[in-house]
Amino acid sequence: MMRFAFWQVAREYALQGLEADDAGALSLLHREDFVRPWSEDEFATMIADRTVIGFAARQTGHGREPPVGFILARRAAGEGEILTVAVSRAHRRQGIGWQLMDAVLRQLHAERAEALFLEVDETNTAAIALYKRLGFATVGRRPNYYPSASGTASAALVMRRDLR
């Protein structure tokens, strides 16, 4: 009788700062989920910007792998703002989004920032669930903010997390 063995290899990830040569991979990842994807040049400009904080999540143990998730945030006038955060579909629900957000929160806290803000499509239940678990509260709503492929627009929620 034939027997089949099934096993699952636990994936391990590590967070690192973003580097200039990540721009192309970030642009491809961003394209997976956003109606208006940012170009490689736009990512290169953000990575080089000293007001921008960025982290990448990579699988460990295979040399320097392309990012499976990343986050970019900007700091200005004692506050932070998430520019974008994304995790590749194949790597979701394993805590990577949480770790990326936590890394930005910790860095801003260490820099004594007062608060972290973000905007999120009010139909994006996954991201909103993550942000609520991290202590973000809704402080505003911008109607007709995000265009969709179908031509309709959805509202943005403005969320804030206190860092003091």
Q: Which stretch binds ligand COA (CB under 6 A): 5-13, 14-22, 37-45, 89-97?
A: 89-97
Q: Which stretch binds ligand COA (CB under 6 A): 18-26, 60-68, 121-129, 144-152?
A: 121-129
> Considering beta carbons, is residue 88 or 163 the nearer one to ligand COA?
88
Structure tokens at 7: 């096993």
Does the footprint of ligand COA cover residue 98 (CB under 6 A)?
yes
> Considering beta carbons, is residue 3 or 32 the nearer one to ligand COA?
32
Torsion (CA) 38, 33, 79, 93 in degrees, nearest 10? -140
Structure tokens at 18: 């973003």
Does the footprint of ligand COA cover residue 25 (CB under 6 A)?
no
Q: How many residues bind ligand COA (CB under 6 A)?
A: 19
Options 14, 35, 48, 129; binder of ligand COA; rule CB under 6 A: 129
Question: In this structure, are residues 156 and 124 in contact, taking their beta carbons and an 8 Å threshold?
Answer: no
Residue 133, C-beta contacts closer than 8 angstroms, at least 6 positions apart: 98
Neighbouring C-alpha atoms within 13 Å toward the C-beta of 62 = 8
Spatial distance between the Cα atoms of 149 and 152, rounded to a whole number of angstroms: 8
Residue 162, C-beta contacts closer than 8 angstroms, at least 6 positions apart: 114, 115, 135
Q: Which stretch binds ligand COA (CB under 6 A): 12-20, 46-54, 58-66, 126-134?
A: 126-134
Structure tokens at 19: 């580097």
Does the footprint of ligand COA cover residue 133 (CB under 6 A)?
yes
User: What is the pairing mode between strands 137-147 and 69-76?
Assistant: unpaired
Does the footprint of ligand COA cover residue 138 (CB under 6 A)?
no
Does the footprint of ligand COA cover residue 96 (CB under 6 A)?
yes
Does the footprint of ligand COA cover residue 87 (CB under 6 A)?
yes
Contact positions toward ligand COA, by CB under 6 A? 33, 85-87, 92-98, 120, 124-127, 129-130, 133
